[in-house]
Amino acid sequence: MKSKKTNKPIYEKEITGAANTVTNAYNQAAPGLQSGASRFGDIMGGILDRYEAGDPNVSAARTYNSDVLSGKYLDNNPYLQGVIDKTNNSVLNNQQAVLGTRGLTGGSDYMKLAAQALADNEAGLRYQDYGAERDRMGQAVSQVPGIIAAENGILDPAFAAYDAMQAPVRAAAGYGSTIGGLLGQYQVQKSKGSLAGLLAQMAGNAAQAYAGGGS
């Protein structure tokens, strides 16, 4: 004598219908996803080429920033001497106006005072230029993270393109997971047994109970 039992889910029709819906949706979307992924692959190649070549604006900013940090412009202002010469004329004219009222123009005292005024003017301008350049050096330090971010920012579209290229893979994984979750309920369990086997098991249980003192 044999017994056979089969278990099936209650909502068999609904589950198979849902599985078919998911399958159809995946089949319809797959070609478009694959086409889009291929196009993003082409875009990513161009972005990587641009990154390797270097953006000219970012490269120029990095070069200038490096020059400033190295002190290249501390004593190399090409316009400073012109400013000194121009202001010296004004300083000399002021000295003549002030000393002329005292009758000191043309004498040694006048020459000494005029030379001192010109020296003070030049020293002040050079110190001012030096201080301004040191300020720019300090600013250059704070700009380093921004330059690095600008260089790495070129890769952001590449990362986005690469992520988009994974859409077919994610869709396939989602499809497989969904179908597996639905159809995994179709587990048919079968149990088979014979009368002789059942009697033998009963006899064995009785012998075991007898050996144990009927407990």
**Domain locations in the chain?**
12-211
Per-residue pLDDT, averaged over 65-81, amounts to 87
- pLDDT tens for residues 76-93? 888 888 988 888 888 877
Per-residue pLDDT, averaged over 17-22, amounts to 76
Q: Which amino acid is at 205?
A: N
For residues 40 and 96, the answer to whether their CB atoms sit within 8 Å is: no
pLDDT for position 50: 78
The angle subtended at Cα 120 by Cα 116 and Cα 126, nearest 5°, is 145
Any idea which residue has 């278990």 for tokens? 7
Return the DSSP state at 69: H
pLDDT for position 207: 52
pLDDT for position 187: 45
Q: What are phi and psi of 107, to 5 degrees?
A: -90, 180
For residues 22 and 178, the answer to whether their CB atoms sit within 8 Å is: yes
Q: What is the DSSP string of 75-128?
A: T--TTHHHHHHHHHHHHHHHHHHHHHTTT-TTSHHHHHHHHHHHHHHHHHHHHH
- Compute the distance between CA of residue 111 and CA of residue 117 in angstroms, rounded to an integer: 10
176-180 — which CB contacts under 8 Å span 24+ positions?
178/22, 179/19, 179/22, 179/23
- Compute the distance between CA of residue 128 and CA of residue 125 in angstroms, rounded to an integer: 5
- pLDDT tens for residues 134-173? 898 889 888 888 888 888 787 788 788 778 777 777 787 7
Q: How many CB atoms lie within 10 A of CB 168?
A: 19
- Compute the distance between CA of residue 154 and CA of residue 147 in angstroms, rounded to an integer: 11
Q: Which amino acid is at 213?
A: G
Round the average pLDDT of the chain to a whole number and report it: 75
pLDDT for position 57: 83
Per-residue pLDDT, averaged over 195-211, amounts to 54
